[in-house]
Chain A
Amino acid sequence: MYEKDGEKYFIVDSHMHFWDASPENWVEGAEQYAKGWIECFHAYQGLGPAETHQPIEEFQKVSEEQLMREVFDEGHVDVAIFQSTYLREWYKNGFNTTEQNGALFKKHPDKFRVNSRFDPRDGDAGMREFERNVEEYKPTGVKLYTAEWNGDSRGYKLTDPECYRFLERAQELGIKNIHVHKGPTIWPLDKDAFDVSDVDHAATDFQGLNFIVEHVGLPRIEDFCFMATQEPNVYAGLSVVIGGLMHARPRFFAKVMGELLFWVGEDKMTFGSDYNIWEPKWQVEGFVDWQYPEGHDFDDYPRLGVDGKKKILGLNAAKLYDIEVPAEFQLSSDTSAPASPDDAELVERSVAQA
């Protein structure tokens, strides 16, 4: 929890990792990819405050002790949600698997949720692995990388029949939240990789599932925004948005926030630190203090108050994950700032056009 100016914030970090990218874990013959991948992540860390930058050796693999300290003791996080990323082609034991994350979860079940994953292209074997993971870790969410390469495939869509089979099964198994990576480059992308139209269709067809679009479709946030406006069960995952922009490019960050608040709204935005790319501490503290910079560029964006920040930092994700939030952290009143009548009309018209 984080307290500032008499307000108490319950923090859910809804997108973080416990990875092993140390050279010992690199697959022979694929070293350049394993190295390139973690260096790419490391460059992202460079967008955070200088005092939080780590040497690459430390960044490749943090210890359990360091994670617990940086996320919970120093980072103000109450509950953290692990997202899994496999990348077994490059990392012998995987980069950040359900098992790796799950081991920490089992030690601290009150502090973590562990999300699983599936890849519809893995067929029946993949389905069995997914089912085993669900049985063991009881996840209520998964993280999907539609742009990931797999054998001869250069990516898939949520709307592929095979994927629908997995989504149906996931729903039967109690999965509620589908985090979809639609954002900055992951293993070679094809041109459809940022396309969010598949989320649009799947969200319509699976009303019982929530779709959290991580990294809000960067670089094409506008496509994401137009889509999310129309789908009540689509959320904006702010991982990379806060970490990558708030410190390094505050004016751009403010514009992106303004767009998201306008099109998507504070009830459907969730904080994720993307640890260990960035520590949650400076992100949480900076976001609580955040306001629009001076200037006309921001005049007509919806404002974000204390209640909105409480929702984004924790209350929204707590609802998605059925995390119990003590009364002291709940909103004092249940009022959220309505969009101006003009804004509401534009959003409505956008929905009507779709």
Chain B
Amino acid sequence: MTAVSDTPSTASTVDGVWEALRTVRDPELDTDVVSLDFVASCSVSDDGVAHVRLRLPTYFCAPNFAFLMVADAWDAVSQVPGLSDVDVELLDHFASEAINSGVAARAGFVTSMAGSDVGEAVDELHDLRRSFTERAMLAGTDLVVRPLVRAGTTPEELVTMTLRDAPPSDDLPRLRARRRELGIPAGDDAPLVVDAVGRAVGIDDLPLHLRKARSYQVGVDANTSICRGQLAARYGL
């Protein structure tokens, strides 16, 4: 790999690339690839090309998610000013070659997997992303609402509350972001608790809705901890 230059302009470009990578999420874990330590290396060569190497917890991590992350990384890094080109590669994965060349050629998932070693793959990934963003939104609802419940907020109060009434926390802007991605209102006047299509949840449905939201949150947590553990074991982190 090309050595990172010490010139200030390149250094700030590298920072920009890292920043861009922080917007790329593992859709299944709802966490960015930098926090997950999925970025094996990141540099900008003297000729202005960003080189990003991504790694995953196992050789057999689901290729559809892997494709999404590589494609998203490419898109995000391409927005960084001052680069002449972008080079993103997924390392150590059974479908590395198909995914890397597919993304580089800007092909969709189906196209890039067709005719490759891994054969014809699944549908385009929009539905998958949507369904995981819905889960992330529900899980985020648990994180934002549970402290309120613990503090004694009643179900009757919860169903009349809006996002403005939620206490400030890191989880709140994240919940708003997921709702926006789903096309669900996320402004201060929007209802606090909504279902996956954005309808306000009424008093009758609230207990079950929140109980399920909590299960979603536990599912995401458990999966994240397994993935982190495997990555650490694989790369000796």
Write the residues of chain A forming the contact surface with B, with a CB cutoff of 8 angstroms. Answer: 32-33, 36-37, 39-40, 42-47, 149, 152, 154, 184-191, 193, 218-222, 225-226, 240, 244-245, 248-249, 252-253, 255-256, 258-259, 263, 296, 342, 346, 349-350, 353
Cβ of B82 under 8 Å from chain A: no
- Structural contact, B122 and A154, CB atoms closer than 8 A: yes
- Structural contact, B57 and A43, CB atoms closer than 8 A: yes
Cβ of B167 under 8 Å from chain A: no
- Structural contact, B122 and A37, CB atoms closer than 8 A: no
- Chain B residues contacting A256 (CB-CB under 8 Å) are 218, 222
- Structural contact, B121 and A190, CB atoms closer than 8 A: yes
Cβ of B14 under 8 Å from chain A: no
Cβ of B190 under 8 Å from chain A: no
Least Cβ–Cβ distance between A215 and chain B, in angstroms: 10
Instruction: Give complex CA distance A263, B211 in Å.
Output: 10
5 pairs, A vs B, C-beta closer than 8 Å = A43-B230, A46-B229, A219-B219, A222-B215, A255-B221
Cβ of B120 under 8 Å from chain A: yes
- Structural contact, A47 and B230, CB atoms closer than 8 A: yes
Instruction: Give complex CA distance A249, B229 in Å.
Output: 9
Given contacts A43-B234, A152-B119, A350-B208, A255 and B218 within 8 Å (CB-CB): yes
Cβ of B95 under 8 Å from chain A: yes
- Structural contact, B222 and A221, CB atoms closer than 8 A: yes
- Structural contact, A191 and B128, CB atoms closer than 8 A: yes
Cβ of B64 under 8 Å from chain A: yes
- Structural contact, B233 and A187, CB atoms closer than 8 A: no
Instruction: Give complex CA distance A152, B221 in Å.
Output: 34
Size bin of chain B's contact surface: 35 or more
Q: A43-B57, A253-B222 are in contact. List 17 more A-B contacts (CB 8 A).
A: A33-B94, A40-B58, A40-B60, A42-B233, A46-B229, A188-B62, A188-B95, A189-B62, A191-B123, A219-B226, A220-B135, A222-B212, A222-B218, A240-B226, A249-B226, A249-B229, A252-B218
Instruction: Give complex CA distance A189, B28 in Å.
Output: 14
**Across chains A and B, which 4 residue pairs bring their CB atoms closest together, nearest first?**
A46-B233, A219-B223, A36-B59, A222-B215
Query: For the complex, would chain B's binding face be called helix, strand, loop or mixed by DSSP majority?
Result: helix
Cβ of B18 under 8 Å from chain A: no
Contact with A along B210-237 (1 / 0, CB 8 A): 0110111011111101100110111000
Least Cβ–Cβ distance between A58 and chain B, in angstroms: 16
- Chain A residues contacting B220 (CB-CB under 8 Å) are 219
Instruction: Give complex CA distance A350, B118 in Å.
Output: 39
Least Cβ–Cβ distance between B136 and chain A, in angstroms: 12
Of all chain B residues, which has the CB nearest A46? B233
Instruction: Give complex CA distance A258, B214 in Å.
Output: 11
Instruction: Give complex CA distance A134, B73 in Å.
Output: 50
- Structural contact, A259 and B215, CB atoms closer than 8 A: yes
Cβ of B102 under 8 Å from chain A: no
